[in-house]
Chains A and B, each alone.
Chain A
Amino acid sequence: MDWIQEFLPLSVERINVWIGALCTFAIYSILYRENPFYRFFEHMYIGLAAGYALGPYLVDVIYRYWWEPIRADGIWWLAFVVPFGMYLYFIYNEKYGWVSRLVIGSLIGAYAGLTFQAFSSRYLPQLQGALSKVLWYPPNATGEIYLSTLINNWIFVIILLSVLTYFTFSFEHRGAVKRTALVGRWFLMIGLGTIFGNTVMARMALLIGRVYYLLDSWLMIRVGGG
């Protein structure tokens, strides 16, 4: 009977947990079929998520990076930043909508300009990592090189080149190139298979987390862990 006493929503804390469980069941009701109950909670969810973001936007960004520097540090030119940014909000207006493209253009330009550093830092070390794979016992090796390392290096280079071949488009794939590209697509399937397996695991974990909440917090059943 103690369990019933504790289980029922008789304290603030328990009411909260029950509301959490209600939200969970409301969303899961779509698995049975589309219904107004689900629609209600779906719209509530979207509204809450949008409303929540306002706090961090206003205080962590607008206050911290705009109002404070103008007020406390007297950086007056910052005052122009928000009015310029507000041009974005003309986007739905037919007559003045184009001014929002000035801001969007600046943002796109900024990201384009930042791409050069990303290209260098993200891809060139990967290029260097691939082209420094030794294919035979090197003459001046430091440390021991295992046969398995060499085999894996061969595999690495072959797979990388054949998949790259598959993704070329400006010349006709014929003969050996065609076969390489076909093998490339098969190798690609291995990579996609690992993504498949990992994605399934991720999705299951999210569901498990939910069931865990229902069992542990709502029904108060001690769960798992051996």
Chain B
Amino acid sequence: MGSYQHAQDNWFAAFMIGFIALAVLINIWRARAGRELYIRRIPGLDAIDEAIGRSTELGRPVTMIPGLTAFGVEAVQALTIFKYITKQIARFATPMRLLTANATVYAVAQEAIADAYNEAGRPDLYDPDSVRFLSSEQFAFASGVAGLLQRERVAANFMFGIFFAESLIFAETGNIVGAVQIAGTVSITQVPFFVAACDYTIIGDEFYATSAYISREPVLLGSMVGQDLAKIAFGSLILGGAVLSTVLGADHPIIQLLGKPGGWEPFMEWIRLKLGGG
């Protein structure tokens, strides 16, 4: 199947992009104007809460790892989740460690964790040494994390962000020390290993939904709701299109219009014929 050089190849593309852009922008605007947008509580959050509960029972520390995530959208969202976890454990004075591989993420994390203790009303519990920059080299970072997980026999291990092959080493070590492990990542290639070695895994878009749910940030919420509308549109098109294809045949101009590059011309031709003939 071909590709698009310009929107003119099939104006349906411009229509779809316009629809999604409007759905996102209108919802962001609604959220900013103070409308309460709804996002469901995903099961991953229950898993997080359960893991927090277990670690407070054991009294051993909790680790949070943003992996090699560079500073960007995912890092900000991972820190939102870490901040939430820190606020929960602050109430029980459970110690925590946040281990980073990126200098910028490290600086922002320090601030976020200090904030979390303040917001939980326990600024006295904040220990600047609990947020650490280990190394920016992949395997040096991984072995640093593995060493710490083993030495401190952590009770729960949270991994959120973007991960590469080093994820295996974290998950394996966490498993050996018997920690409850929750992972959340948009790196699809690492998800299988997390599913195999962790207690619960938050997959792909769920990661963004989790941080939007926690932070209630209008831009994230609005965007999430807008994206949902787009997914519903895609789903309906697939369902409707499959039925139409079955009835009209898969080569019908209407079916070609719905996304095929160059599908606009045959469709207009067909319309002209219909109008001229009818």
Contact = CB atoms under 8 A, between A and B. Distances in A.
The answer to whether A and B assemble together is yes
Interface of A: 30, 34, 42, 46, 116-117, 119-121, 124-125, 127-136, 138-142, 153, 157, 160-161, 164-165, 167-173, 188-189, 192-193, 195-196, 199, 203
A135 B242 contact: yes
Contact of A125 (B1, B6, B191): B1
Contacts of A173: 40
Nearest to A172: B40
Given A169-B228, A170-B225, A195 B139 contact: no
Contacts of A116: 7, 17
B249 A161 contact: no
A196 B192 contact: yes
Contacts of A170: 37-40, 224-225, 228-229
A127 B258 contact: yes
B140 A124 contact: no
Interface in B1-15: 1-7, 9-10, 12-13
Nearest to B257: A128
9 contacts: A42-B137, A119-B13, A120-B261, A124-B10, A127-B238, A161-B239, A172-B38, A192-B195, A196-B196
Contacts of B259: 124-125, 127-128, 131
B242 A133 contact: yes
B3 A127 contact: no
Interface string B233-257: 0110111111111110111000110
Given A195-B189, A199-B192, A131 B261 contact: no
Contacts of B192: 192-193, 195-196, 199
Contact of A34 (B4, B143, B245): B143
B188 interface: yes
Contacts of B239: 157, 161
Given A120-B16, A124-B259, 14 more contacts: A119-B13, A120-B17, A124-B13, A125-B3, A130-B242, A132-B255, A133-B242, A133-B245, A138-B250, A161-B238, A168-B228, A171-B40, A195-B188, A195-B189
Nearest to A34: B143
B249 A125 contact: no
Interface stretch (B109-117, B124-132, B199-207): B199-207
Contacts of B243: 135
Nearest to A126: B259
Contact of B203 (A169, A172, A188): A188
B232 interface: yes
Contacts, number: 155
Contacts of A127: 234, 237-238, 258-259
B260 interface: yes
A131 B245 contact: yes
Contacts of A133: 242, 245, 250
Given A116-B17, A173-B40, A130 B238 contact: yes
Contact of A139 (B12, B242, B249): B249
Given A131-B240, A189-B195, A120 B13 contact: yes
Nearest to A142: B251
Interface string B1-37: 1111111011011001100000000000000000001
Contacts of A131: 237-238, 240-242, 244-245, 255, 258-259
B267 interface: no
B193 interface: yes
Contacts of A30: 139, 143
B249 A141 contact: yes
A42 to B, nearest CB: 7
A203 B189 CA distance: 13
Nearest first, the 5 closest Cβ-Cβ pairs linking A and B are A131-B241, A128-B259, A196-B192, A124-B259, A120-B13
Contact of B242 (A121, A157, A167): A157
Given A167-B206, A192-B191, A195-B192, A161 B139 contact: no
A141 B38 CA distance: 45
Contacts of A153: 242
B71 to A, nearest CB: 11
B42 interface: yes
Nearest to B38: A170
B90 interface: no
B255 A169 contact: no
A135 B189 CA distance: 32
Nearest to A150: B246
A172 B38 CA distance: 9
Contacts of B182: none
